[in-house]
Structure 1
Amino acid sequence: MPPEALVPAHPGWRDAFEEAAADVYPSGAVVGATLMSPRAIGNNPSPFADTPVADTADPAPGLVGWPAYRAELASIASLAVPLSLSNLMGLVISLVAIGFVGRLGAFELSVVVTSTSIFNVSGLSVLTGFASAMETLTGQAYGAGHYSHVGVVLQRALLLTTLLTAALGVLWTGADRALIALGQDPDISRSARYYLLTSLGALWCQGVFENLKRYLMAQGVAAPVTAATLVGVVAAPAFNWLFIYRCDMRLLGAALAMDAVGLVMVATLAGAVVARDRRLAGTRRATWAGLSREALGGWGEYVRYALPSVLMICCEWWTFEAVILLSGLLPDPPTSLSAMGIAVDTSGAQFMLISGVGMALSSRVSNSLGAGKPAAARRAVGAALTCTLAAECAIAAAIALNRERWARVFTDVPAVVAATVDLLLLVVATLPGDGTNATLQGLLRGAGRQEIGAVANICSYWGIGIPMAAFLGIKRNLGLRGLWWGLVIVNLLQGCVMLGIASTINLSEAADKAAARFEQRRSLTQAQGEEPLLAADRLEAGPAAGEV
């Protein structure tokens, strides 16, 4: 598309566009004349720089065919790589805590494993789902040029995260009674309740971290998230040693170490966000305009996107937890539970990698739709699926060729190693569907169509996956293989369903809805006497030259 095609015919819009273009391109350079801008990833001088790597709405303006697709691949990768690394390092932090507690004894390890499961299933999955609503609202706002609204949505998300964390804390006060009712050991159940309530601060910190992450993602920035998580990886062993052993606080120390690590990570990322916002203050693309009473409203709209996001995440996470519980009903529960746990952890690790691609796609789609560029959003989907396919092939080969070595990382018990080696081949079979689902969920979040993904996940994972796993594994006596074959079937099915959804979703309609929503907000802002946004802001959603 030639640059002049981006300019509306109305003279007022044209004047505004030319004024903005003069600011952004003072030398008279033609928009989209080159494949990669000076902000491209190859010219980024620091691995932890917090500047966007390309135009967040369209990294290939004016390009078509392979050059445009190549630019899109670079844009997706520039976001996905740091996000995937951050996800993996988050998993390392969790493993460090379990490693320290495991040396206290079997009882303490049982308490932490039980508590971590509840923490993830009933706490972290909910807060992560609520934070995912930001991917729609902040990404589209940034793409539409409503930069200050990005900060308003962040404030709204932080308020809701705080209230939701408090509600979960009240829920966890009854964790011991629920565990005892499910047949768990009373001493472990009471200790798990104590551990959960002590680690409530870590849950809040994780929720805030997810909010800040998506605030930066909307602006095409991801490296500070990786840097903050790296700080957490370094701090985790130190805090665990300090509280568990040096202060001799044992289980209490493990929970306090979680709180401390979470606080350090949030403080690090918040510092990066504040520094960035200060540098952008006074520019067109300043996303923080101070505390706003507007954050006290709009909760209904936020929750409409958040609840389906929670369902999408919980359906998948809870399915794997259910399969672990089902494995405890098989003969030789210690071996079955151990092998299934290793297989699920392996699947979870690859999911952490691929979910970074899904997050990158969500950011690209939301920015493009906010800027009124559905074609760029569609191109981003193809590029993200290409990245996913390449990553899944590499992961599958690594697992298949090293499955015995990988099993021995976790255990030396021959029966568990043999069962795990057998299961890991089936884990490989789940990768195509699981990766496709994780990536295309990013499309739905970016387009604001989370309800489609929620319905699809409920029908697939809960309606088919869990019953199929129970039928094959227990009813047909296929054991661990049968349980995992249920996961293979549902993941392949869900991957096909998501491909069908992606091929039929109307991104032009989604762009129109985003435009209507922000036009309504623009009218409301002008009616309240606030300074209107520059009319040309929606035409070029990337960072201006020289801005950081």
Structure 2
Amino acid sequence: MEEQGLQTPLVVQEYGKRVGPYSKDEIVCEFKKQLYLAGPLMAVNLLVCALSMISVMFVGHLGELALSGASMATSFASVTGTSLMIGMGSALDTFCGQSYGAKEYHLLGIHMQRAMIVLLSTCIPLAFIWANAATLLVFLGQDPEISAEAGLYAKFMIPSLFGNALLQCHVRFLQSQNNVVPMMLSTGITTLLHILVCWIMVFKSGLGSRGAALANALSCWLNVSLLALYVRFAPACKKTWTGFSKEALLNIPTFLKLAVPSAVMVCLEIWSFEMMVLLSGLLPNPQLETSVLSISLNTCSMLYMIPLGLSSATSVRVSNELGAGRARAALLAIRVSMFAVITEGVLGALILIFGRKLWGYCYSNEEEVVSYIAQMMLLLAGGYIVDGIQSVLSGAVRGSGRQKIGAVANLGAYYIIGIPLAILFAFVFHMGGKGLWFGIIAALFAQSLFLLILTLCTNWENEAKKANQRVHDSMIQDQVS
């Protein structure tokens, strides 16, 4: 078969190469690569979650009002800021990952700088939203006293918004070149120091809950600083970071074409889970329902850090291989990731099932709460396997630069199928919080099915051509500009 493809000097193409069965050595090699990536990324995800948890735990010792305000502010920040930064930053999974695979290393630094400009610019209007969080929360029907406390906490979190924007850019930059250990070390150092910083800022400075918010900002900026120093001076980044360039100011619309759907893809999913908590407050016995659903979501979020690491590893491997023109290797990466996440999902589900009667005692001694949590754990177990599958498939979507399709899939899965079914089960069939979770499972199943069909119907050789063209266009546009 004749080789096809773009006649560019970027890489030696493999387009048109027959896809035969994979050898044992190829599978083992791919598994090792993903394990090297996923392990540190799982640790990073867990440590980042721990930062917010530590802050809220310290605030909890200041009283119920302070705890409620900090919790509400944290959720508000996640919905209106953090999710947007994560989503927009994930566009670098495509740009940096494919450029690295094509061996156009200097483009990684330019892409990162361009992302920094876009994300920091986005933070400016978001900062005004955070500054007026109290007013917005009251407008949304929240308790005025708690809203005032949450608004104060959110104001002092504004510096962390800008720090998180830069952090996302550095993380994606390093991640795309398979350099994940420094991220794990910097996040580990930051998390350990965060305990001391929180103690000083909350109890010794007299700032109270405001100190916890400032501690978040200090820790975030410490993490960014450590990674920035590594990027600047480490030999491993010598080829990918060549200093600041005016080229980063060019082709911003091209970056936005992926950044905006990337943000939509991430936000649609995160917002739907937050909506479940709001809906639980409308159920009979809302205090019990909200508490149990919040515990269930926190448990799910903590466990999700494992498949999220595999998702990021999949994104890196797929983008690298497509950028190098190796469609066959990109497909192998997806298959290995799917096997790994299903295996891990089954083990995780078994742990949830066998530990369901004990988990509730970590949160309450009331038998009603413990029994309800045990029932929810069974639903979590079923949803966890499906959630892992969609996370890996979402990683493949980001790696191949098809975030627009991913955003449409998430819109349909969560807002056309999941949320309406959750309302139907919870309020029409009177299934309560379990009904809401059935809606979430339905959304996850629909999302996984959509993305699986997309993956199976994909011509990966064409995707490799598109990746090569994307890198080539970036080079030409920067040179022309």
Alpha-carbon separation, structure 1, partners of 2:53 and 2:480: 53
CA distance in 1, matches of 2:103, 2:21: 22
Aligned letter for 1:336? E
Q: Output the CA distance in 1 between the equivalents of 2:249 and 2:30.
A: 37
2:82 aligned to which of 103, 120, 124:
124
1:162 lines up with 2:120 in the alignment: yes
The one-character-per-residue Cα deviations of 1:443-471 (angstroms, maximum 9, x if unpaired) are 01110001111000000101111111111
Matched, 1:67 2:20: no
- Establish whether residue 418 from structure 1 lines up as the match of residue 376 from structure 2: no
Report if the CA contact (8 A) 1:336-1:416 is conserved: no
Q: Which residue of 1 aligns with 2:287?
A: 334
- The CA deviation string for residues 486-545 of structure 1, in whole angstroms up to 9 with x for no partner, is 1122212221221111111222112112222333444456668xxxxxxxxxxxxxxxxx
Distance 1:112 1:203 in 2: 16
Letter in 2 for 1:477: H
Residue in structure 2 matching 1:213, options 171, 190, 194: 171
Write the letter of the residue equivalent to 1:254.
A
Aligned partner (choices 65, 69, 72) of residue 111 of structure 1: 69
Q: 1:233 is matched with which residue?
A: 191
- Equivalent position of 2:214 in the other structure: 256
Aligned partners of 1:362 and 1:399: how far apart in 2? 28
The Cα of 1:477 is off from its aligned counterpart by: 0.7
8 Å CA contact 2:77, 2:130 repeated in 1: no
Distance in 2, matches of 1:441 and 1:459, equals: 15
In structure 2, distance between residues paired with 1:527 and 1:331: 63
The DSSP-based 3-state class of the residue aligned with 1:463 is: helix
Q: Do residues 456 (structure 1) and 394 (structure 2) align? A: no
In the TM superposition, residue 176 of structure 1 has moved relative to its aligned partner by 1.8
Q: 1:405 aligns with which of 347, 353, 358?
A: 358
Q: 1:371 to 1:482 in 2, by over 3 A?
A: same
Q: 1:478 to 1:521 in 2, by over 3 A?
A: closer
Distance 2:91 2:382 in 1: 31
Q: How high is the TM-score relative to the length of structure 2? A: 0.93
Instruction: Evaluate the alpha carbon distance shift between residue 176 and residue 268 of structure 1 in structure 2; reply closer, same or farther with a 3 A threshold.
Output: same
Match of 2:181 among 216, 223, 231: 223
Aligned to 1:467: 420
1:147 to 80, 105, 108: 105
Task: Please name the residue that 2:300 is paired with.
Answer: 347
| TM-score in terms of structure 1 length | 0.82
CA distance in 1, matches of 2:138, 2:306: 36
| Conserved? CA contact 2:280–2:433, under 8 Å | yes
Given the alignment, which residue of 117, 128, 138 partners 1:180?
Answer: 138
2-side partners of 1:525 and 1:490: how far apart? 41
1:294, distance to aligned residue in structure 2 (A): 0.7
Q: Structure 1 residues 525, 259: closer, same or farther in 2, change over 3 A?
A: closer
The equivalent position to 2:387 in structure 1, one of 425, 434, 445, is: 434
CA distance in 2, matches of 1:314, 1:364: 24
Q: Which moved more, 1:82-91 or 1:263-272?
A: 263-272
Determine which of 54, 62, 65 is the counterpart of 1:96: 54
Change (3 A) 1:502 1:261: same
Partner of 1:273: 231
Contact preservation (8 Å) 1:97, 1:240? yes
What secondary structure does 1:104 align onto?
Answer: coil
Structure 2 distance, partners of 1:264, 1:455, is 36
Is 1:336–1:480's contact at 8 Å kept on the other side of the alignment? yes
| Contact kept in structure 1, 2:190 and 2:223, CA below 8 Å | yes
2:148 maps to 1:195: no
Matched, 1:373 2:331: no
Higher helix content, 1 or 2: 2
TM-superposed CA distance for 1:316, in Å, is 1.2
Distance 1:79 1:185, change over 3 A: same
- What residue number does 2:468 align with? 515
Query: Could you tell me which amino acid in structure 1 is paired with residue 177 of structure 2?
Result: Q
Deviation at residue 64 of structure 1 after TM alignment: 4.2
User: The residue matched to 1:146 in structure 2 has which SS?
Assistant: coil
Q: Are 1:505 and 2:462 matched, yes or no? A: no
Paired residue for 1:295, among 245, 248, 268? 248
Provide Cα deviations, 1:90-110, integer angstroms capped at 9, x if missing partner: 111211111111110010011
Question: In the aligned structure 2, how far is the partner of 1:507 from the partner of 1:166?
Answer: 39
Looking at structure 1, the residues matched to 365 and 271 of structure 2 have their Cα atoms a distance apart, in angstroms, of 29
Aligned partners of 1:139, 1:338: CA distance in 2, in Å? 41
Contact 2:98 2:467 in 1 (8 A): yes
Residue type at the aligned position of 2:91? A
How many residues were matched structurally? 471
Task: Provide the residue aligned with 2:17 in structure 1.
Answer: none
5+ long unaligned stretches in structure 1 = 18-61, 529-548
Distance 1:257 1:523 in 2: 44
Listed one character per residue, the Cα deviations across residues 278-336 of structure 1 (whole Å, up to 9, x for unaligned) are: 4553xxxx011211111001111111111111111111111111111111111211111
Q: Matched residues, percent identical? A: 31
Q: What is the rounded CA distance, in whole Å, between the counterparts of 2:367 and 2:122 in structure 1?
A: 45
User: Aligned-pair distance for 1:147?
Assistant: 0.7
The one-letter amino acid paired with 1:299 is I
RMSD (Å) for aligned C-alpha atoms: 2.2
Q: Structure 1 191/142 Cα, relative in aligned 2: closer, same or farther at 3 Å?
A: same
* Alpha-carbon shift at residue 410 of structure 1 (Å): 2.1
